[in-house]
Structure 1
Amino acid sequence: MAMDPIAASAATALVGAMTSEAWQQIRTAFVDWWRRARPDDADRVNAELDESQRRLDEDRTTEAALVSTWQDRLESLLSENRALADQLSHLAEMAEQAKRDSPRVRNETGDRTGTLEQNAEASGQSRVYQAGRDQHIHES
């Protein structure tokens, strides 16, 4: 079977969203979509998505394998019902947006969400104070 670009895009976005703060919302939307397409498989797909997300959290090197697995499943579903392609494209866009909006950043205190980029330039007698969270400066 030739690679379906919609399935490839959706699988990439789906797995990418597994590390976002919006994952539960994306998973629910995806399972609801699957339930309309193949009602008998929806509960199994829901459990498999949870397992995929758990595996990805434990080992980021599994991402490519998970994308391939979900791409195969999506291609199979689209080959049975091509009318689902537009809905799948919409889900992929939603997942991509969620990934862009809220990536998960790990640190020593646990999961934190968001991104932070700070740039500063000081010259002469100037000072720059930057913080990713609370900052208290006491000067007299």
Structure 2
Amino acid sequence: MGPEIADLARTAGTTVVALMAGQAWETARDGVVALWQRFQPARAEAVGGELEATRDDLRLARQSGDADTEAELTAEWQARVRRLLLAQPEVADELRRILAELSPQLPEQRPSVDVRLRAEVSGSGRVYQAGRDQHITER
């Protein structure tokens, strides 16, 4: 499997799960089901049911603050899409088209930043480090 297929599957799985809790859910669901209908029609109805079940699980996870379940659901959909792409590589162009239509509807996400802090102190020195705001009151 080429890295392009893996990247496309990751993007698709992440996009589908991200849109499950928003207003664009029906459009995302219809696009995914139509994709399966076109390339694996015998599985399309089951995929629709799996999408609905995943949406229910996602809502419960978000209500309880369970980020692990949300990550697992995303990984499951990434794997499903990857298997579809491996079985039928011609799906890729249609999937890219669907993702292009859905991407403007994605919730705005703040970019992730990798922050690494390192300090060395000797003697009676002090170090104050923070990844964001820091307020120090010494008495």
Band of TM-score, shorter chain: 0.5 to 0.7
Matched, 1:50 2:57: no
Aligned amino acid, residue 75 of structure 1: R
- Given that 1:19 and 1:99 are in contact with CA atoms closer than 8 Å, whether structure 2 keeps it comes out as no
Give the TM-score taking structure 2 as reference length.
Answer: 0.67
Structure 2: runs of 5 or more not aligned: 109-139
- Given that 1:10 and 1:91 are in contact with CA atoms closer than 8 Å, whether structure 2 keeps it comes out as no
- Given that 1:26 and 1:94 are in contact with CA atoms closer than 8 Å, whether structure 2 keeps it comes out as no
CA distance in 1, matches of 2:28, 2:51: 10
Mapping for residues 78-117 of structure 1, pairs under 5 Å: 78-100=85-107
**3-state SS in 1 of match to 2:84:** helix
Give the TM-score taking structure 1 as reference length.
Answer: 0.66
CA-to-aligned-CA distance 1:64-104 (integer Å, 9 cap, x gap)? 11111011111111111111111112222333222238xxx
Indicate the residue corresponding to 2:71 in structure 1: 64
- Given that 1:78 and 1:84 are in contact with CA atoms closer than 8 Å, whether structure 2 keeps it comes out as yes
- Given that 1:16 and 1:99 are in contact with CA atoms closer than 8 Å, whether structure 2 keeps it comes out as yes
| Count, aligned residues | 101
Indicate the residue corresponding to 2:17 in structure 1: 15
Question: Once the two structures are aligned, what percentage of the paired residues are identical?
Answer: 31
RMSD between superposed Cα atoms in Å: 1.7
CA distance in 1, matches of 2:90, 2:52: 26
Q: Which runs of 4+ in 1 moved over 3 A?
A: none
Structure 1: runs of 5 or more not aligned: 102-140
